[in-house]
Amino acid sequence: MSKQRKVPKHNHIWAGGESHRWVAKGTNKAKKLKEGEGLQDLSLDDFRNDWQEVPDQEHTSNKDYYFNSYAHFGIHEDMLKDSVRTGSYMRAILHNAHLFQGKTVLDVGSGTGILCLFAAKAGAKQCIGIECSDIADFATTIAQQNGHGSVITYVRGKVEEVELPVQEVDIIISEWMGYLLIYESMLDSVLFARDKWLKKGGLMFPDRARLHMAAVEDADYREEKIGFWGQLWGFDFSTMKQSVIQEPISDTVDAASIATSTCCLLDINLHDVKREDLDFFARYTLQVKRQDFIHALVVWFDVSFEACMPNVLLTTAPGKPYTHWKQTVLYFEDPLVAHKGDVISGMIAVRKSPQNPRDLDVKLLYDFKGKFAQPSKVQCFRLR
């Protein structure tokens, strides 16, 4: 999932904001053209007042912003265009058709229905997609137009509130990943679905997810994003720096800028992870590999489909083919001067923000054992 990501999925903020109300309200229908009249005979007033060909999406503009932010096709365009993302699901499902044949499959957050289409093509007996946004109407037509209308059904609503036409399912498929893996907390809905509908011994696609971290030299980009807030147009804007540093940046990190070893912060098995485990904390240790300045930590995730033969891995690591999630960068307030053999260690804690559970709070402690300096610090970030 993602989502019109940073600038946001995957966070789904559209130019034009949440209202797609392009439609003039209370408009009069255009005067009917008389026999023999063409469009050129419309008066300017009738033309201006009749907007009926543009559907009024007022019902989609939101009481609950998140749950309708996926109604617009643009977000789905980004996800479908992400060939690493969509291609990994396609391979996992179509190259493992033996797992899907004759099975009942549930797609949690089905969007345009691409995962249901793969499952139907792989021979599933029944595919049910749950989708809370209006895109579900298009998904139904797409399924029908592709000859899978009798196998695929979409249930419109929130996973937590809907009734399904079956008691249990053999396989749950879902693309739920956000920045830092768990941003947006859609995984909660997947776990809810698993506990309610997945048969004992059923499969999760994907079934494993990991979060990784390394430290990077990133002087140029730091200057562009943070150093920028200095003298601007002859005025001092430096007070902004503090807030800018607090917000992790989603962007592509060059693998060559990684100056340390990498470490795994989180490794979850989707079959048994619990909701509480998603507010996680971990210790980390990174070994410096070369003499360099270190400006930031970079975090990325991968998910794998381990029921597949061979195993399918969807990774968003630096240096790997581009995905719309890119990587997430957390800047240190002060760059570190590092030498080969130095160690950066510390702790990281991630929790849903108490103010808005779809935001993530990150607390980072780092303790640098350098040749010349040994700074220790705690920094807090918020992904919103």
Name which position in 90, 119, 132, 273 contacts ligand SAH (CB under 6 A): 132
Enter the tokens of residue 226. 């943070």
List all residues 6 or more positions away from 317 whose beta carbon is below 8 Å from its beta carbon. Answer: 212, 255, 300, 302, 327
Q: State the catalytic residues.
A: 175, 184
Residue nearest to ligand SAH (CB): 109
User: Which own/partner contact pairs does 134-141 have at CB distance under 8 Å and 24+ positions apart?
Assistant: 134/57, 134/59, 134/60, 134/68, 134/71, 135/70, 135/71, 135/72, 135/73, 135/76, 135/111, 136/110, 138/73, 138/112, 139/110, 139/111, 139/112, 139/113, 140/113
> Does residue 189 touch ligand SAH according to CB under 6 A?
yes
Q: How far is the CB of 87 from ligand SAH (least distance, A)?
A: 12
Say how many residues make up the chain. 384
Helix or strand holding residue 223 (H, E): none
Amino acid at 316: T
Q: What is the 8-class DSSP label of residue 206?
A: S
Q: How far is the CB of 273 from ligand SAH (least distance, A)?
A: 17
CA–CA dist 88, 347 (Å, integer): 32
> Does residue 175 touch ligand SAH according to CB under 6 A?
yes
Q: How far is the CB of 189 from ligand SAH (least distance, A)?
A: 4
Distances (CA, A) of 349 to 68, 186, 381: 30, 19, 10
> Does residue 186 touch ligand SAH according to CB under 6 A?
yes
Q: How far is the CB of 155 from ligand SAH (least distance, A)?
A: 9
SS3 for 125?
Answer: coil
Q: Provide the β-strand partners of residue 264.
A: 212
Name which position in 93, 96, 111, 250 contacts ligand SAH (CB under 6 A): 111
Name which position in 4, 110, 260, 323 contacts ligand SAH (CB under 6 A): 110
Whose Cβ is closer to ligand SAH: residue 114's or residue 151's?
114
Q: How far is the CB of 79 from ligand SAH (least distance, A)?
A: 4
Whose Cβ is closer to ligand SAH: residue 35's or residue 161's?
161
> Does residue 131 touch ligand SAH according to CB under 6 A?
yes
Name which position in 133, 260, 315, 327 contacts ligand SAH (CB under 6 A): 133
Binding window for ligand SAH (CB under 6 A); candidates: 30-38, 129-137, 195-203, 212-220: 129-137
What does the binding site for ligand SAH look like in residue numbers (CB under 6 A)? 1, 70, 79, 107, 109-112, 114-115, 130-133, 135, 158-159, 175, 186, 189
